[in-house]
Amino acid sequence: MANKQFDVVVIGAGPGGYIAAIRAAQLGLSTACIESESYADPKGEIRLGGTCLNVGCIPSKALLRSSELFEEAHHSFQMHGISADNVKIDVGTMVQRKDNIVTQLVGGIKMLFKKNKVTLLPGHGKFVGRENDRWLVDVSGETVEANHVIVATGSKARHLSDIPVDNKIVCDNTGALSFDSTPKRLGVIGAGVIGLELGSVWKRLGSDVTILEAMPDFLAAADQAVAKEAWKVFTQKQGLKINLGVKINKVTVGKKGVKVEYDLGDESKVLECDRLIVSVGRIPNTQGLGGDNVGLTINERGFITVDHNCRTNLPNVWAVGDVVPGPMLAHKGMEEGVMVAECIAGQKGHVNIDTVPWVIYTHPEIAWVGKTEQQLKNEGVEYRAGQIPFAANGRALGQGDTTGFVKMLADAKTDRILGVHVIGNNASELIAEAVVAMEFNASSEDIARICHAHPTLSEAMHEASLAVDKRPLHF
Ligand code: FAD
Ligand code: NAI
52 within domain boundaries: yes
Would the CB of 71 count as within 6 Å of ligand 2?
A: no
Same domain, 91 and 138: yes
Dist. CA 78–CA 100, nearest whole Å: 31
Could you tell me if the CB of 24 is within 6 A of ligand 2? no
The answer as to whether 475 is a domain residue is no
369 and 346 assigned to the same domain: no
| Number of domains into which the chain is organized | 3
Same domain, 366 and 272: no
Proximal ligand: closest to the CA of 281: 2
Last residue of a domain, one of 351, 377, 393: 351
Mean pLDDT computed over 289-309: 96
In whole angstroms, what is the distance from residue 354 CA to residue 359 CA? Answer: 15
At 32, phi and psi to the nearest 5?
-125, 150
Q: What are phi and psi of 420, to 5 degrees?
A: -135, 135
Among 234, 256, 280, which residue terminates a domain? 280
Same-domain pairing of 259 and 295? no
> Does 162 reside within a domain?
no
Residue 325 Cα distances to 75, 362, 460, angstroms: 42, 25, 34
- Do 49 and 128 fall into the same domain? yes
In this structure, the residue with its CA closest to atom 36 of ligand 2 is 193
Question: How far apart are the CA of 278 and the centre of ligand 2, in A?
Answer: 9
**34 CB less than 6 Å from ligand 1?**
yes
393: CB partners within 8 A, 6+ apart? 402, 455, 457, 459, 460, 463, 474
146-156 average pLDDT score: 98
Both 97 and 30 in a single domain? yes
* Nearest C-alpha neighbor of 277 from the set 212, 189, 191, 213: 189
Domain contains 474: no
For residue 118, being part of any structural domain is answered with yes
* Centroid of chain to Cα 378: 26
Q: Which helix (H) or strand (E) holds 69?
A: helix 57-75
Looking at the fold, whether 428 and 463 belong to one and the same domain comes out as yes
**Which ligand 2 atom is at minimum distance from the Cα of 160?**
18
pLDDT tier at 171, thresholds 50, 70, 90 = very high
Q: Which atom of ligand 2 is nearest to the CA of 196?
A: 25
332 close to ligand 2 (CB < 6 Angstrom): no
Nearest ligand to residue 285 Cα: 1
Which residue, of 322, 351, 380, is where some domain finishes?
A: 351
State the DSSP string of 129-178.
Answer: EEETTEEEEEETTEEEEEEEEEE---EEE---TT----SSSEE-HHHHT-
By CB atoms closer than 10 A (0-12, 13-18, 19+), residue 380 is exposed
The pLDDT score that the predictor gives to residue 118 is 98
Strands 275-278 and 170-171, sheet pairing = parallel
The CATH number covering residue 217 comes to 3.50.50.60
Q: What is the pLDDT of residues 19-39, one digit of tens each?
A: 999 999 999 999 999 999 999
DSSP per-residue codes, 356-407: --EEE-SSSEEEEEE--HHHHHHTT--EEEEEEEGGG-HHHHHTT----EEE
Tell me: do 47 and 181 sit in the same domain. no
Residues 458 and 364 in one domain: yes
Whole-model pTM: value is 0.97
For CA atoms 217, 219, 221, 226, the dihedral sign is: negative
**% of residues, the chain, pLDDT over 70:** 100
Domain span at residue 265? Answer: 170-280
- 405 forms bridges with which residues in the sheet? 389, 423
pLDDT at 104: 97
d(CA 83, CA 77): 7
Split at pLDDT 50, 70, 90, the class of 313 is: very high
Same domain, 151 and 296: yes
For residues 277 and 195, the answer to whether their CB atoms sit within 8 Å is: yes
Mean pLDDT score, 187-192: 98
CA–CA gap between residue 324 and residue 318 (Å, rounded): 10
Task: Say if ligand 2 is within 6 A of residue 329 CB.
Answer: yes
Best mutation site among 153, 174, 334 for ligand 1, i.e. most ligand atoms within 8 A of its Cβ?
A: 153
Report the pLDDT value the prediction gives residue 111, as an integer from 0 to 100: 98
Asked whether residue 48 is domain-assigned, the answer is: yes
Tell me: do 28 and 139 sit in the same domain: yes
330-352 confidence digits (pLDDT tens): 999 999 999 999 999 999 988 99
pLDDT at 1 over 80: no
Residues 17 and 133 in one domain: yes
> Given the CA of residue 17, which atom of ligand 1 is nearest to it?
51
Nearest partner of 120 among 130, 135, 107, 132, judged by Cα: 107
Question: Is 165 inside a domain boundary?
Answer: no
Q: Note the pLDDT of residue 255.
A: 87
Distance CA 40, CA 59 (A): 16
pLDDT of residue 256: 85
Residue nearest (by alpha carbon) to ligand 1 atom 43: 52
The answer to whether 454 is a known catalytic residue is yes
Q: Is 473 a member of any domain?
A: no
**Which residues are registered as beta bridge partners of 122?**
35
For residues 433-452, average pLDDT:
98
Catalytic residue among 75, 308, 454, 474: 454
Average of per-residue pLDDT across 118-142: 96
